[in-house]
Amino acid sequence: MDAENEQQAAPAEGGGQAQRAGLSRRAVIGWAGAGVALGAAAVGTVAAATMSDGDGAAAPQTSPEVPFYGEHQSGISTPVQDRLHFAAFDVITDDRDALVKMLKEWTKAAASITGGREVGGGAVGVVPESPPDDTGEALGLPASRLTLTIGFGRTLFEKDGQDRFGLRAKLPEALVELPKFKGDRLEAARSGGDLCVQACADDPQVAVHAIRNLARIGMGVVNVRWSQLGFGKTSSTTPDSQTPRNLMGFKDGTHNIAGTDADSLAQHVWVAPGDGADWMTGGSYLVARRIRMTIETWDRSSLKEQEDTFGRTKIEGAPYGKQKERDAPDLSAMPADSHVRLAHPDSNGGLMILRRGYSFTDGTDGLGRLDAGLFFLAYQRDTRKAFVPLQTKLAANDRLNEYITHVGSAHFACPPGVRKPGEWWGQTLFG
């Protein structure tokens, strides 16, 4: 199954179908090759991971392993993986030590899983009488570019007027309670949370395995408040690759912050010294919104209405009046209430957020329709200056509101990265 044999086989098949098959087969071979390389370099990779500065952005798309340690948490500027499992947790203990102990155990487990290794004593277990430490469903799977990103919600610092863990004084001003935006129909069971973990990977099983094992480690300390699976990344942080489409069939996130654009990241994404709470320096604020799309009515709307809604053409994604997706848009050529015009940095004083959303469909809404939409994830340096003004404007004016409803919402402070083994998630906050 080496590349040479593959190339010999391909022309013999001929025709369009063979060409498509050839493409996907090459993709498979690419993965296999990476896997072999990983196996051969097993020891070296671990060592390298501990030395990395954590700038996952430079990693090629096929890299099976994203470094866990670094100045910033991975999973933010990292090239967006194909799949998501996001979980928000409630802390159910009032014992600060127990929480810290869990965060340390989580960190250790996260470093293992993101490196394609098993949790604790592994899936085989230490003694047959005991359940194995690792739940086992990721055995044989590569690291799949898994990243795990942790965040802390407002309620961790203060809940019902209580300073739960002696953290109240460390509540960052930027971690505001999000205002109620026009049209919000938020469900409590899909909103909020004391902690969150974003697991992104190219293989959904690897992402689910990660969240499941963290939830298990956290028993007695946290429970799962809500969780969301996502597929089909809707935003890319790698401008060279094709911009993915959302469930409305439109390219989404054409003008996103690139993971390699250090200047924009520094300006719009990473919290800088002096921004506020010191413990957040190098971190970022995450807004998660579960946005339900009424895809049934969307699908019944004319192509012109659909394109007017976005202000871009559907197939190419070109801004109105232009030919190509990446042509500089002439905002005045777009309808005044079009999504792109309203959301564009040029309409917002240069304001940018880093988007990393995923599509979802979760069964039905009980009315014979798919419960589908966009799980919107955005990272920013200060939510008060980014998501809040942007969403205030969109909620009031965006023509897209005809087809979408925000049904879940959460806001988290994602601390800086774990720089080396021995450090732990939240150390700058609790330490």
Partner 1 sequence: MPARRTSAAAFLVLAVAGAALVGCSKKDDGKASADGAAGPVQVTATDSACGLSKTSFPAGHVELAVANKGSKVTEVYVYSDGDKIVTERENIGPGTKVTINAEIKAGTYEVACKPGMTGDGIRQKITVTAGASASAKADDRLTQAVADYRKYAQEQADATVPVVEQFAAAVTAGDVEKAKSLFAASRVGWERTEPVAESFGDIDPKTDTREDALEEGQAWTGWHRIEKSLWVDGRIGDEEKTLAAQLVADLKDWQKRVPEAEITPTGMANGAKELLDEVSKNKITGEEDRYSHTDLSDFAANVEGARQAYELLKPVASENEPELSRTLDAEFEKITELLGKYRGADGTYTSYDKVTEDERKAFSDAVNSLGEPLSKLAAAVVAK
Q: Point out which residues bind partner 1 (CB under 8 A).
A: 35, 38-39, 42, 64, 92, 112, 115-122, 124, 126-131, 138-143, 216, 219-220, 223
Pick between residue 133 and residue 382 the one whose CB is nearest to partner 1. 133
248 C-beta neighbours (distance < 10 Å), count: 23
Pick between residue 93 and residue 281 the one whose CB is nearest to partner 1. 93
Beta bridge partners of 162: 159
Pick between residue 138 and residue 277 the one whose CB is nearest to partner 1. 138
Pick between residue 222 and residue 414 the one whose CB is nearest to partner 1. 222
> Checking DSSP bridges between strand 404-414 and strand 370-380, what pairing results, if any?
unpaired
Distance CA 13, CA 28 (A): 18
Pick between residue 196 and residue 222 the one whose CB is nearest to partner 1. 222
Work out how close the CB of 228 gets to partner 1 at its nearest, in angstroms, rounded to a whole number: 19
Return the amino acid letter for 293. Answer: M
Contact 75, 148 (CB under 8 A): yes
Structure tokens at 414: 């994602």
Work out how close the CB of 219 gets to partner 1 at its nearest, in angstroms, rounded to a whole number: 4
Q: Cβ contacts of residue 358 below 8 Å, gap of 6+? A: 83, 84, 230, 231, 232, 233, 234, 374, 375, 377
Helix locations, 275-403, DSSP H? 295-299, 303-310, 339-343, 387-397
Pick between residue 138 and residue 414 the one whose CB is nearest to partner 1. 138
Work out how close the CB of 38 gets to partner 1 at its nearest, in angstroms, rounded to a whole number: 6
Pick between residue 99 and residue 143 the one whose CB is nearest to partner 1. 143
Work out how close the CB of 149 gets to partner 1 at its nearest, in angstroms, rounded to a whole number: 21
Structure tokens at 119: 């949790």
Query: Token pair 């030395």 is at which residue?
Result: 51
Work out how close the CB of 424 gets to partner 1 at its nearest, in angstroms, rounded to a whole number: 17
Return the amino acid letter for 227. Answer: S
Structure tokens at 98: 């127990």
Residue 377 Rama label (left phi>0; alpha psi -120 to 50; beta): beta
179 C-beta neighbours (distance < 10 Å), count: 11
Work out how close the CB of 164 gets to partner 1 at its nearest, in angstroms, rounded to a whole number: 16
Work out how close the CB of 197 gets to partner 1 at its nearest, in angstroms, rounded to a whole number: 17
Work out how close the CB of 223 gets to partner 1 at its nearest, in angstroms, rounded to a whole number: 5
Pick between residue 123 and residue 407 the one whose CB is nearest to partner 1. 123
Q: Which among 131, 143, 102, 136 has a CA at the least distance from the CA of 119?
A: 136
Distance CA 268, CA 68 (A): 22
Pick between residue 122 and residue 249 the one whose CB is nearest to partner 1. 122
Pick between residue 49 and residue 277 the one whose CB is nearest to partner 1. 49
Work out how close the CB of 212 gets to partner 1 at its nearest, in angstroms, rounded to a whole number: 13
180 C-beta neighbours (distance < 10 Å), count: 10
Work out how close the CB of 117 gets to partner 1 at its nearest, in angstroms, rounded to a whole number: 4
List, as one string, the DSSP characters of 2-48.
-HHHHHHHHHHH-HHHHHHHHHHHHHHHHHHHHHHHHHHTHHHHHHH
Beta bridge partners of 200: 84, 147
